[in-house]
Structures are given as C-alpha cells and as structure tokens.
Amino acid sequence: MSISFITENATIRDHLLSAGCVNSQNTRDLVVSFIPDDFCRNIDGLVNNLKEQVKNPNRTVIFVNGGDTILGIIILQILTGNIGIKIEVLCVPETSKKKGIGIKLLDYVKQLAQIMKVPVYIQPISEELKTYYTNQGFAYNPNGYYMFTPTSVLSSSGGTSVMGYKKAGKSTKSRKSRKSRKSRKSGRSTRARRDH
C-alpha cells in the first residue's frame, strides 16, 4: 500500500515528493477505471463528481494505491496565486472505512499545506463530516467552510492565516503558561500542607 499522486503542477509535485508521496505512473483515465460506482458509499452523484475531478488536469489527485484497487482518494484544487488548498472530494469506500486511510490522506494534505505555508479549506456536507474534520484540526469559518491552518502560516502571519482569519483555540504559549501557573500553584498548596 502506497500513497500516490497525479498532478501537472511541478511545484506541487516536488512538494508531494518531499512529503513522501509517490508520483503515480498511472494516467488519470486509468485511475478513474479503478473507481467502482459504489466507491463513495453510494452518496448520490458523488462518485460521478469524483471521476470528473480526477480527469480535471487542474486538480491534484492523491490516492492510496492498494495494487489493483484504490483504497481512498482526495482531490485538491490549488487556489489561484497559491493562497490555499481546497479539498474538492475525499472518498474512502466502506471497505476501507475505519482503517485510518482518510486520516492518512489528510495528513499528506496538511504536510503539503505546511510546506506551501497556506491554509486548507473544505465544505463538509453533513454534521458527521463536520465533526470528522473538526477532530482532524479544522476549525469552522464564518464563511461556511472549515479551515486547517498549519503552524507555518500562523508563524509567518503573526497568528492570522493568509485569508485573515485567526486560528481557533489558544496558542501553545498560553497553554504552557497555564500549565506552568498550575504546577506552581499546586506546588504552593503542597508546601502549605506540609507546613501544617
């Protein structure tokens, strides 16, 4: 089982190679031929959209290659001017569910975003998917999509993503400060108990 990709973008190709993906020798049409009609868990219209996205030369395709089958696939659009990555489709068939394949694909997208220093966007279509992406580090954005902002973007923009939205949650520094205050406080109470 390997993580392979297809892209016509030389910069993206180099970034994916550096992240450990394998440049697929398969054509886009051959990859489409490996996708059965029930690949996307029978969500109406999604498999046809997936096949069209795979054929689109302006899309980057990352997939888990299981030999003569595809175990999961993610389609990316690199936004004009390299300002972000939009996930068009992420599909893992029922037979590959609960094996960590979707998470593995997302991890490669996050690595790509880290290297490119750009955020990743997706518009989940169900509450279950909103929860899934939230658990993978994506935060809801008021514009109706979910966004993952890699640390390289936060550090280069002073804590704000290139699209102008702050990352959800507390900074690492503030968490460390809280832990430090907590340990100092617990140390004082221990000393106070020993003195009595």
What digits encode the pLDDT tens for the residues 147-181? 999 887 765 554 443 333 333 433 334 444 444 44
pLDDT over 70 at 191, yes or no:
no
Answer yes or no: CATH 1.10.1760.20 is held by domain 2-165: no
Evaluate whether 22 touches 4 at the Cβ level (below 8 Å). Answer: yes
For residue 115, the model assigns a pLDDT of: 92
pLDDT in tens, 71-103: 899 999 998 787 899 999 898 888 777 788 999
Beta-bridge partners for 61: 6, 75
| Token output for 137 | 């580090």
